[in-house]
Amino acid sequence: MAIIRAAEVAKSRLSIASRRLGTADPVPSLAGLLDRSFDLPIGDPRYGRNALTPGVMPLEHSWSEVQAQALRFDLEPLGPQASPISRRQEASREMRRLVSQSYGKPALLWFDQQSEPFRGANIHGNARFGAWFGAAYDRHGLGEAKVYYELGPNGLVELPPTLQHASQVAMSCLPGLTPIFTSIACGRQQGAQRIYFFHRGDLRLLDLEPLMHRLGVGAQLPSMLTAVGLVLGGRFTLPEGSVIIGLRDTQRGMEMKLDVLLPGVPDPPQEMPQLIDMLLEQRPQSRYALAHWRQAMTPDDAWGNPGRLSVVSVRVNPQQAGRLTLYFRPSGYDRSPSRSRNRNRPGDELHLAS
């Protein structure tokens, strides 16, 4: 039986998803990165040794209310045997190539300026993954490209002044915060940088109130409490190992993002998909978009399941109440598709290399 590389399955899955969602196909522009990142056979257990999606192949799908029609995914470049510095260099190269091709010289100059502290030949000795790469494709093409850079012990001094200040405010309000990585994203109209913190210890959601007021998003606390409390079945204290907080400076003011890592939450409600739908009842367009996304991203032999929900994220800014982003460890990347069991929809034929 022919050995099938994981890259071939990934490219086929992403192409099929793009057709179902009505977006541009990401594979023509990212084939090289996918080939270099997933060169091992499908189902190889070495893929599980990664920091993005530990235990499974490091390619993560997500759906966001603010990019509801997009095909979004993140991946860890270059496979399980690559060094953190190699991943950082690879992610930076791909980002620069895509930004230059899609958005032109001004965007590339902006990215180079923002990422300069993180693109050097040196990396701190305790680095775990180095960098991840992310992208979002809509019907017009590449809507956004993003690199996540792992931060070292002195990572905060390499941030822009506004993010440095917001970080100091956050750490003074929540002493359990530790900076872990930063993301730099480029879109068609603008770029943005976000700083992410891991929270040590349990977190009462009400303890976010002083920080949110100082960041200018205190009025959005009720919407965050409602979203997280409903989706988690009435839980308002998050245990250690389940919280990441992200801060981003935007034209609307400071944006705060609360990521709940579900593997760190004991006994999450089994009816979480229904609770998410209940939360979105007041936003019918988002609810419809999520239902369409679920259908498009589900392999035909997965019985309506696009994958295992791994992160529930809520973001707020001064003008916008809580909006959801959901991250999935997708189904179907641990095995090669079988035509006998994979009842493809019209136009979904798989073209796998033998």
| 103-150 pLDDT tens trace | 999 999 999 999 999 987 778 778 899 999 999 999 999 999 999 999
| 1 — pLDDT class (breaks 50, 70, 90) | low
Give the distance between the most distant pair of CA atoms in the chain: 61
Task: Give the rounded distance of the alpha carbon of 101 from its chain centre.
Answer: 23
Give residue-wise pLDDT tens across range 153-174. 888 998 999 999 999 999 999 9
Q: Which of 97-101, 187-191, 206-210, 328-332 has the lowest mean pLDDT?
A: 328-332
pLDDT of 303 above 70: no
- Over pLDDT 70: what percentage of the chain? 93
In this structure, are residues 257 and 64 in contact, taking their beta carbons and an 8 Å threshold?
no
Residue 337: the pLDDT is 57
In this structure, are residues 60 and 73 in contact, taking their beta carbons and an 8 Å threshold?
yes
Give residue-wise pLDDT tens across range 230-275. 999 999 999 999 999 999 998 889 999 999 999 999 999 999 999 9
**For residue 10, which amino acid is it?**
A
Residue 119: the pLDDT is 87
Is pLDDT larger for residue 304 or for residue 279?
279
| Secondary structure (3-state) at 114 | helix
**For residue 68, which amino acid is it?**
A
Question: Which whole number is the average pLDDT over 85-91?
Answer: 96
In this structure, are residues 89 and 36 in contact, taking their beta carbons and an 8 Å threshold?
no
Work out the number of other CB atoms within 10 angstroms of the CB of residue 179.
19
C-alpha span between 165 and 186 (Å, rounded): 22
Helix axes 272-279, 284-297, angle to 10 degrees: 140
| 292 — pLDDT class (breaks 50, 70, 90) | very high
In this structure, are residues 280 and 324 in contact, taking their beta carbons and an 8 Å threshold?
yes
Residue 352: the pLDDT is 35
In this structure, are residues 169 and 224 in contact, taking their beta carbons and an 8 Å threshold?
no
Residue 338: the pLDDT is 53
Residue 349: the pLDDT is 38
Question: Which whole number is the average pLDDT over 69-93?
Answer: 96
Bridge partners, 309 (sequence order): 328
The CB-side HSE value for 121 (13 A sphere, CA atoms) comes to 0
The CB-side HSE value for 93 (13 A sphere, CA atoms) comes to 12
Report the run of H or E that residue 37 belongs to, with start and end: helix 27-37
Give residue-wise pLDDT tens across range 316-350. 999 999 999 999 999 878 766 554 344 444 444 33
Query: Which phi and psi angles does 250 have, rounded to 5°?
Result: -130, 175
Sign of the Cα torsion 246, 258, 277, 264 reads positive
pTM of the entire structure? 0.92
Question: Which whole number is the average pLDDT over 290-313?
Answer: 87
Question: Which whole number is the average pLDDT over 272-295?
Answer: 96
Residue 302: the pLDDT is 57
Bridge partners, 149 (sequence order): 131, 182
Give the contacts of 131 (CB within 8 A, at least 6 positions apart): 77, 84, 87, 88, 90, 91, 92, 118, 147, 148, 149, 150
Residue 108: the pLDDT is 97
**For residue 256, which amino acid is it?**
M
Is pLDDT larger for residue 189 or for residue 340?
189
C-alpha span between 352 and 5 (Å, rounded): 9
